[in-house]
Amino acid sequence: IAGITQAPTSQILAAGRRMTLRCTQDMRHNAMYWYRQDLGLGLRLIHYSNTAGTTGKGEVPDGYSVSRANTDDFPLTLASAVPSQTSVYFCASRPTGGSSETQYFGPGTRLLVL
């Protein structure tokens, strides 16, 4: 069981380019999330999805889009990257139903936009 995986591990991207960060989980969790982590700012929610076919905006959604075609995958797309999107991106998933609120994080993607 892999849990939750992200790809790529790291990426250097030219400003203006399009980029998709991949996130896959094999735990059959309904809810998935994308966060960005910047020094001194903690983790900030970009977009989320409570179940396949639905998505919602988090704290900092501008410049990002997501889709949730199935339970396992939750890709994050930067349509036209800008240097301020340089960050570490974490995907997370959470089981729904029952009493657990625990979010499980992927290993992260380090993105540098030049």
Partner 1 sequence: GENVEQHPSTLSVQEGDSAVIKCTYSDSASNYFPWYKQELGKRPQLIIDIRSNVGEKKDQRIAVTLNKTAKHFSLHITETQPEDSAVYFCAASKYNQGGKLIFGQGTELSVKP
Q: Give the footprint of partner 1 on this chain (CB under 8 A).
A: 31, 33, 35, 40-45, 48, 50, 56, 58-59, 90, 94, 96, 101-103, 105-108
d(CA 23, CA 40): 25
Q: Is the dihedral of CA 69, 54, 15, 10 positive or negative?
A: negative
**Minimum CB separation from partner 1 for residue 14, in Å?**
25
Q: Which CB, 19 or 90, lies closer to partner 1?
A: 90
Nearest 5°: phi and psi at 80? Answer: -150, 95
Q: How far apart are the first and last CA of the chain?
A: 36
Q: Output the smallest distance, CB 90 to partner 1, in A.
A: 7
Taking the least distance from each CB to partner 1, the nearer of 14 and 42 is 42
Q: Name the residue nearer to partner 1 (CB basis): 1 or 42.
A: 42
Residue 107 Cβ, how far from partner 1 at the closest point, in Å?
A: 5
Q: Coil, strand or helix: which one is 84?
A: helix
Element (H, E) at 110: strand 109-113
CB of 5 to partner 1, least distance (A): 11
Closest to partner 1 by CB, 12 vs 41, is: 41
On whether the CB atoms of residues 108 and 87 are closer than 8 A, the answer is no
